[in-house]
Amino acid sequence: MWRCSLSWSQADFCGLTHLVKLDLSKNKLQQLPADFGRLVNLQHLDLLNNRLVTLPVSFAQLKSLKWLDLKDNPLDPALAKVAGDCLDEKQCKQCANKVLQHMKAVQADQERERQRRLEVEREAEKKREAKQRAKEAQERELRKREKAEEKERRRKEYDALKAARREQEKKPRKETNQAPKPKAGPRPRKPPPRRPSRTWAVLKLLLLLLLCAAGGLLACRVPELRRQPLCAGVNAVYDSALRGLRGHHILQWVLRADSQQ
């Protein structure tokens, strides 16, 4: 039988699976190791006068346990009720049996709770996956619809461009074919060629005469030639023409004749 004190680590004896009796009384233990159930050959266990409130779930694996003492521990009320007293051999054996059955029920409850949590987690995961799949499907559908709309929009733009090009190609031909023909009508008469104005001829003649007269006059104005008979006639004509021009008789006659035409 092993008698353990506080100086010895609680976890060390869990590997001593060959133990049959173990005395851990009066050690002020607050809890047992979680893997205490590895002591599958343990038959006698004394936990008198410690500070235990609960037992590890692995306690249910101590299938060989025949004797148990849990007196003087602040046990959980449910566990204390199951354990009862251990005042004699019979009570200690009953304590071992009842506690094992209780711990098996606790283990089963915890296993069911663990399974329930796992199931809840699996359902939540399935819902998340289904939601994600639905979201991805919706996004794919949205992308597909946007792609189809973009394709349709490009097709319409292409068709509109082709139609515009066809209209542009037909327009010159249509305008050429439907160009309005000039209406038949009387041709405009060409203006008759203008005849040279008599006034202009007279002016040209007068200009020529004036040039000739001016030349002769200039020659006859020379003092040496003024006394010559020809120059005397020229000077007389010049003086007479000058007087006529001053009276505007010739110009009035020419203008009157041109207006009558």
- Decide which of 168 and 258 is more confident: 168
Q: What HEC string does the chain produce? A: CEECCCCCCCCHHHHCCCCCEEECCCCCCCCCCCCHHHCCCCCEEECCCCCCCCCCHHHHHCCCCCEEECCCCCCCHHHHHHHCCCCCHHHHHHHHHHHHHHHHHHHHHHHHHHHHHHHHHHHHHHHHHHHHHHHHHHHHHHHHHHHHHHHHHHHHHHHHHHHHHHHHHHHHHHHHHCCCCCCCCCCCCCCCCCCCCHHHHHHHHHHHHHHHHHHHHHHHCCCCCCCCHHHHHHHHHHHHHHHHHHHCHHHHHHHHHHHHC
Share the mean pLDDT of the chain.
80
Q: What is the pLDDT of residue 162?
A: 86
- Decide which of 11 and 259 is more confident: 259
- Decide which of 124 and 191 is more confident: 124
**pTM for the whole thing?**
0.49
Mean pLDDT calculated for residue range 114-137: 93
The answer to whether residue 93 scores a pLDDT higher than 80 is yes
Mean pLDDT calculated for residue range 72-84: 93
The type of residue at 160 is A
Mean pLDDT calculated for residue range 50-57: 94
Tokens representing 257 are: 């004749």
Share of the chain above pLDDT 70, in %: 70
- Decide which of 1 and 143 is more confident: 143
| Edge-first strand listing for the sheet containing 21-23 | 2-3, 21-23, 44-46, 67-69
Q: What is the pLDDT of residue 165?
A: 87
The answer to whether residue 90 scores a pLDDT higher than 50 is yes
Tokens representing 122 are: 């699996």
Q: What is the pLDDT of residue 176?
A: 53
Which tens digits make up the pLDDT trace of 6-44? 444 555 666 777 889 999 999 999 999 989 999 999 999
Which tens digits make up the pLDDT trace of 149-162? 999 999 999 999 98
Among all chains, which residue has been given the structure tokens 């200690």? 92
Q: Which domains does the chain have, with CATH numbers?
A: 13-110 (3.80.10.10)
Check: CB of residue 46 under 8 Å from CB of residue 25: yes
Q: What is the pLDDT of residue 6?
A: 45
- Residue 46 has φ and ψ, to the nearest 5°, of -115, 115
Crossing angle of helices 229-247 and 249-260, rounded to 10°? 60
Q: What is the pLDDT of residue 204?
A: 79
